[in-house]
Amino acid sequence: MDRKEFNELEYFDMVDSELLKHPNWRYGQALFNVLYALYPDLANELRGLDIDPFYMEDDFSEYYRWLDTL
């Protein structure tokens, strides 16, 4: 299956936008939800793994390293 090419600028712009629309979201929640909206195959690959940002509170370094591999 071909995967939509990851666009970092688009991704982080949408994360910022969604956080403004949903002030009750945590940052990690926004990271995951936007990833799922734009790249559902990628989100499903990391769902439930230690690098899944959804439940992370403050250290996203492993997740960012994973994004750098895309």
Q: Which residue has the higher pLDDT, 15 or 69?
A: 15
Q: pLDDT (tens digit, 9 = 90+) per residue, 6-38?
A: 899 999 999 999 999 999 999 999 999 999 999
CA 57 to each of CA 16, 43, 45, 48, 62: distance values in angstroms, whole numbers, following the listed order: 16, 18, 20, 15, 13
pLDDT at 1 over 90: no
Sign of the dihedral through C-alpha 30, 52, 8, 45:
negative
Q: pLDDT (tens digit, 9 = 90+) per residue, 30-62?
A: 999 999 999 999 999 999 999 999 999 899 999
